Amino acid sequence: MTTLINTPSSTAPVMKNRMSTFTKEEVLARTLTYFEGDELAATTWVNKYALRDGEESS
């Protein structure tokens, strides 16, 4: 999640990233909705792009 915060010294907003953790089941349910029930597309996307080891930087 990205949060925009206005600082008093500048009118430009500062972005802060907040990491969220979801279970595989939560991600799969949301991607199934996104891919309109296409289970192959949803599971492929989850396995290729969404799952990360907690220590991995990318």
Summarised one tens digit per residue, pLDDT across range 2-47 is 555 555 555 555 566 677 888 889 999 999 999 999 999 999 999 9
In this prediction, residue 9 carries a pLDDT of 55
Number of structural domains found in the chain:
1
Let me know how long the chain is. Answer: 58
**pLDDT, position 43:** 94
In a domain, 36, yes or no: yes
Task: Tell me which residue range forms the domain holding 30.
Answer: 20-52
Cα–Cα distance for residue pair 22/25, rounded to 1 Å = 8
H runs (alpha helix) in the chain: 24-34, 39-45
**Residue 51 pLDDT:** 74
Asked, for residue 2, whether it belongs to a domain, the answer is: no
**Residue 31, domain member (yes or no):** yes
| Full-model pTM | 0.56
| pLDDT (0 to 100) of residue 11 | 57
How many CA atoms lie less than 13 Å away from 37 in the CB half-sphere?
0
CA distance linking residue 46 with residue 30, whole number of Å: 10
